[in-house]
Structure 1
Amino acid sequence: MPSASTRPVAIKIDDATRDRVKRLAEARHRTPHWLMRQAIEEYVDREEKREAFRQDTLKAWNEYQETGLHGTADEVEAWLASWGTDDESPAPEWHK
């Protein structure tokens, strides 16, 4: 999402990459600037989601280390398989 104020930022790329960006921008009827800005936004969005997932995973691992509570793969798979069916199951009870 673009912010209210923008500032120019310079990046250095090799000639081959610059030519590739230019060709792709022409094929898409966009400017190289638009294409690079779009690529950066998509990259940052993806990496923010990846980092949030990593943080959630670390939090879950730490909680498991502290409590020992868990569900087996079979329990969780059976629960997930019931999602969207008429016989949807509640989440399994976590245990040690």
Structure 2
Amino acid sequence: MSVTTVRLQPEIENDLEVAAEKLRRSKSWVINQALKEYLERQEQEQDRWQETLKAMESVAQGKVVSSEAVHGWLRSWGTEDELPPPKSDQ
């Protein structure tokens, strides 16, 4: 495991110590958990952004699903005649 030095603002250092004590863990463990969760969120945000760009390109190409088709599909959820997801009009 590598060692990285980080300068913390005094209030963050205080909060870190409090969190570590409450969790009965080391400050290092709390920092590692926080960074792991932060990096996972960043990756999810990048994935969502890529999906958004793809969706915007689809809309620009006219590949859309009508609101009537979506509402009909949603109304069918949980019924005996549940519909498959609607496809784009193109």
Q: Establish whether TM, by shorter chain, passes 0.5.
A: yes
The C-alpha deviation readout for 1:2-54, integer Å capped at 9, x for no partner, is: xxxx3222222101110111011101101111001001101111111111011
Q: Give the equivalent residue in structure 1 for 2:87.
A: 93
CA distance in structure 2 between the aligned counterparts of 1:60 and 1:84, rounded to whole angstroms: 27
Deviating 4+ runs (over 4 angstroms): none
Query: Unpaired segments of 5 or more residues in structure 1?
Result: 1-5
Query: Unpaired segments of 5 or more residues in structure 2?
Result: none
Aligned length: 90
> In the superposition, relative to structure 1, how do residues 12 and 70 fare at CA in structure 2: closer, same or farther (>3 Å)?
same
Give the percent of matched residue pairs that are identical in Structure 1 and Structure 2: 30
The C-alpha deviation readout for 1:77-96, integer Å capped at 9, x for no partner, is: 43245445433211213116
Aligned-residue CA RMSD in angstroms?
1.9
TM-score normalised by the chain length of structure 1: 0.78
> In the superposition, relative to structure 1, how do residues 57 and 84 fare at CA in structure 2: closer, same or farther (>3 Å)?
farther
